[in-house]
């Protein structure tokens, strides 16, 4: 066998089954501690922002442009996984950090050393150890570590839901265009929260980036939201009357106290979105997708974001040809709803009155 054939054999017989087992065990452990982890992360962010606020009060820190929460792989090697919180004058790592602080996240890579040992042993038992050596095994394992962090960058949004209501965050002096990033230390970074300038969806250039925009008490009537990317946007007490939403993306978006009156929602991507205290009346929702693209690692691990409907009213609303399997309905009232060719969770039927 040549090297390529050995590596393929290792992937099929060792790496894939052992990694799947490790990821499932990690996911189960994280799920069991979900509430504890949420409080820990939220508390760490609050503590860091409190420290920044104190520095600003003492005139030792100017307005904040960028905060990065990053994971240094060296902390796993040292056996003490941690997150590094840092303030930067602009994009992370282009300049030295102004302020840095580390917080422990012992739960993030639970069982990592045992996972590596199982990979070594599996390869040895299959008679591959003379070809598949430890440096190669480790390099492959770091690939799954990167996937774990990218999944965490998605879940961080959920942990920090309501960040803009956090007292420490509100007190901070933030520069225009403030951004909060998450990612690998000295590597990729993903924006998980931002404060863009105010914008009018229907009175801006086509190139305008609408992600993370905030809209408060806006009234939209006879408007067509056509092929728009409104991921991570916030809508507060907005009213949509006689509107059409066509083939648009609202992934990780938030709607609080909004009303959809005689609206037509067609082909929307809602994974990770959340509707709090919203009303849907005489509206139609069809071809709705709450799952992210099938076949991805997120689906395999069951870590995709849920589309949540919390304390909502769905009255005389039609649901057609939609996948709500990654949807969750809690404390909702569903009255006179019609469904056709839909995949619906049990929580939907629990809310029917």
pLDDT tens digits, 132-170: 999 999 999 999 999 899 888 888 988 898 898 899 999
Could you tell me what percent of the chain has a pLDDT over 70? Answer: 96
User: Phi, psi at residue 221, to the nearest 5°?
Assistant: -130, 130
Q: What share of the chain is helix, strand, coil (3-state, %, to 5)?
A: 35, 30, 40
**Residue ranges, CATH 2.160.20, the chain:** 198-350
Class of domain 198-350: mainly beta
E strand map for 72-173: 82-88, 99-104
pLDDT in tens, 50-67: 999 999 999 999 999 999
Could you tell me the two tokens for 220?
């939209």
Q: What are residue 183's DSSP bridge partners?
A: 70, 189
> Which residues, other chains included, contact 33 with Cβ-Cβ below 8 Å and sequence gap of 6+?
107
Tell me the average pLDDT of the chain: 92
pLDDT in tens, 185-205: 999 999 999 999 899 999 999
Cβ contact 326:308 at 8 Å: no
CA distance 172 to 324: 38
pLDDT in tens, 1-23: 899 999 999 999 999 999 999 99
Q: What are residue 246's DSSP bridge partners?
A: 226, 266
Cβ contact 70:183 at 8 Å: yes
**274 closest CA partner among 123, 350, 108, 161:** 161
* 238-245, Cβ contacts within 8 angstroms, sequence gap of 24 or more: none
* 307-310, Cβ contacts within 8 angstroms, sequence gap of 24 or more: 307/270, 307/271, 307/272, 307/273, 307/274, 308/273, 308/274, 308/275, 309/275, 309/278, 310/274, 310/275, 310/276, 310/277
**277 closest CA partner among 238, 325, 243, 335:** 238
* Banded pLDDT at 305 (limits 50, 70, 90): low
């Amino acid at each position: 066998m040549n090297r390529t054939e050995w590596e393929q054999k290792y992937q099929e017989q060792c790496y894939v089954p052992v990694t799947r087992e490790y990821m499932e065990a990690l996911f189960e452990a994280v799920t069991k501690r979900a509430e504890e982890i949420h409080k820990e992360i939220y508390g760490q962010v609050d503590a860091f922002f409190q420290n920044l606020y104190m520095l600003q009060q003492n005139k030792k820190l100017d307005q904040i442009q960028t905060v990065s929460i990053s994971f240094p792989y060296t902390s796993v090697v040292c056996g003490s996984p941690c997150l590094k919180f840092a303030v930067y004058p602009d994009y992370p790592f282009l300049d030295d950090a102004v302020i840095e602080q580390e917080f422990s996240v012992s739960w993030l890579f639970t069982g990592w050393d045992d996972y590596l040992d199982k990979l070594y042993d599996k390869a040895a038992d299959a008679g591959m150890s003379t070809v598949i050596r430890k440096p190669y095994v480790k390099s492959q394992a770091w690939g799954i570590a990167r996937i774990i962090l990218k999944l965490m960058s998605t879940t961080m949004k959920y942990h920090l839901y309501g960040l803009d209501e956090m007292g420490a965050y509100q007190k901070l002096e933030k520069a225009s265009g403030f951004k909060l990033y998450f990612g690998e230390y000295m590597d990729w970074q993903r924006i998980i929260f931002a404060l863009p300038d105010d914008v009018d969806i229907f009175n801006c250039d086509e190139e305008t980036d609408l992600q993370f925009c905030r809209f408060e008490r806006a009234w939209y009537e006879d408007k067509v939201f056509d092929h728009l990317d409104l991921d991570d946007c916030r809508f507060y007490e907005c009213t949509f009357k006689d509107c059409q939403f066509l083939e648009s993306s609202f992934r990780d978006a938030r709607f609080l106290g909004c009303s959809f009156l005689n609206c037509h929602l067609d082909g929307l991507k809602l994974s990770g979105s959340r509707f709090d205290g919203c009303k849907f009346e005489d509206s139609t929702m069809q071809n709705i997708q709450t799952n992210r693209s099938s076949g991805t690692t997120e689906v395999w691990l069951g870590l995709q974001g849920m589309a949540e409907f919390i304390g909502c009213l769905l009255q005389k609303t039609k649901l057609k040809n939609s996948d709500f399997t990654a949807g969750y309905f809690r404390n909702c009232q569903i009255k006179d709803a019609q469904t056709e060719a839909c995949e619906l969770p049990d929580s939907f039927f629990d809310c029917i009155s």
